[in-house]
Amino acid sequence: MTGRDAPAPASVTFAVVGGFLGAGKTTTLAALARELTSRGRRVALVANDQGDDLVDTRLAEAAAGWAGEVTGGCFCCRFEDLLDVVTRAVEEYGADTVLAEAVGSCTDLQATVVRPLHRRYGARFRVAPLLTVVDPARFAAIGRAGEADLAYLFDRQLADADVIALNKADAVDPALSAAVRTALAALHPRTPVLTYSARTGTGLPALTGTLTAPPTGRDRDLVIDYDRYAAAEARLAWLNHTAEVRAPRSAAGFPSARWAATLLAELTAGAALVGHAKVHLTAPDGRTTKASAVGDGRAPAVDADGGAMRSARALVNARLVCSAGELDAALAAAVRAADAAAGAATSAPTRPAAFHPAYPRPVHRLPAEPPPR
């Protein structure tokens, strides 16, 4: 059965996954969805963003039987919207497992999302331990970027975790991964660290098992300075932009992967710090090209190549440390470079309009329960 024919399950597992931008959260959720589906689960994914038009939602739709999104703010500030989306997943699709990906600049999720879900909606949901996904290379580099407030935000995400999920085992030097594990054990000795690769599946069964494990029993308040948290988020310019890319009339098509990779390389070149940058191209016949960059010194990764396209709808998501105006100008220059490299012409109904996230104001912020006497 599918859609509205599926019965609503008696118990729904609700898992929130956090972690800094570029850690591989979307790829992780897609891999977890496939693994859970193979175990007989009916999985829905929920993406989250400060703006609209998300590349991640397109990827979620391809990975799970049902996908939704909460836009215009993080889960903590759009808590009722999150509940509405999850309710639709259960009622329309019959989901028995919901995986929700928090915005990559968000923290304090225990107090503002996990705890309210457990205490106020525990009869409806079994709330899984909070996973925080980490890119080892980003962990090693963020302190060197000269961004003290972002380093503080990154550390608070780790301190908030029930389980730290150390991703990209396939792409990182094993010595670096081991060094990061040692550092994490010293910084957060009570938090288990699981190493895995969302792309290859190495270590994924153990990570999946945390979603069905009993609650950790840990309930503690995160020490956090919200002014500093807000300042860290405001360091990032946030841009979601759509455009139409076309090949010349005389050409059979433009190389979509070259266009996407060139745009990302140009967009992120020289940036002080890249949270992430993603491009998703969709041709009229449904073929897609997807590329991403996280500013770690490597070339943009082309995760899916739809080949030559006569035309395509391009969706660009970028989070960079710069001003909103600088990001708008950088995207315009990157589009020109991509068009020149791929022999394409790009137009858009609106100009790029980057912004900086507003001060986080959670709907709920519940303190930890005191330990029993």
Per-residue pLDDT of the chain (373 residues; tens, 9 = 90+): 344 444 455 589 999 999 999 899 999 999 999 999 999 999 999 999 876 655 556 665 666 689 999 988 899 999 999 999 999 999 999 999 999 999 999 999 999 999 999 999 988 999 999 999 999 988 988 866 678 999 999 999 999 999 999 999 998 899 999 999 999 999 999 999 999 999 999 999 999 999 887 766 568 899 999 999 999 999 999 999 999 999 988 788 999 999 999 999 999 998 888 988 999 999 999 999 999 998 766 789 998 999 999 999 999 999 999 999 999 999 999 999 999 999 999 999 999 999 999 999 999 999 998 776 6
List CB contacts of 224: < 8 A, sequence separation 6 or more.
107, 108, 156
Domain boundaries for CATH 3.30.70 within the chain: 236-347
Rg of the chain (C-alpha set): 20
Q: Are 114 and 131 in contact (CB under 8 A)?
A: no
Domain with CATH 3.40.50.300 in the chain: 12-231
Rounded Cα distance between 90 and 8, Å, is 6
- Three-state DSSP class for 126? strand
Give the Cα separation of 148 and 159 in Å (integer): 16
- Cβ neighbours of residue 257 under 8 Å, at least 6 residues apart? 289, 291, 302, 305, 306, 307
Q: Are 114 and 129 in contact (CB under 8 A)?
A: no
Helices (H), the chain: 25-38, 55-63, 79-93, 109, 115-121, 136-142, 148-160, 174-187, 204-211, 226-234, 256-268, 324-342
Question: Cβ–Cβ contacts within 10 Å for residue 373, how many?
Answer: 3
For residue 370, the model assigns a pLDDT of 78
Nearest Cα neighbor of 29 from 290, 208, 166, 202 is 208
Helix (H, G, I), strand (E, B) or coil at 243: strand
The CATH class of 236-347 is alpha beta
Q: Which phi and psi angles does 122 have, rounded to 5°? A: -65, -25
Distances 298 to 65, 142, 152, 197 between C-alpha atoms, Å: 33, 16, 25, 18
Burial readout 168-191 (b: 16 or more C-beta within 10 A, e: otherwise): bbebbeeeebeebbeebeeebeeb
CATH topology of domain 12-231: Rossmann fold (3.40.50)
Answer for the pair 72, 80: CB distance below 8 angstroms, yes or no: no
pLDDT in tens, 193-233: 999 999 999 999 999 999 887 766 568 899 999 999 999 99
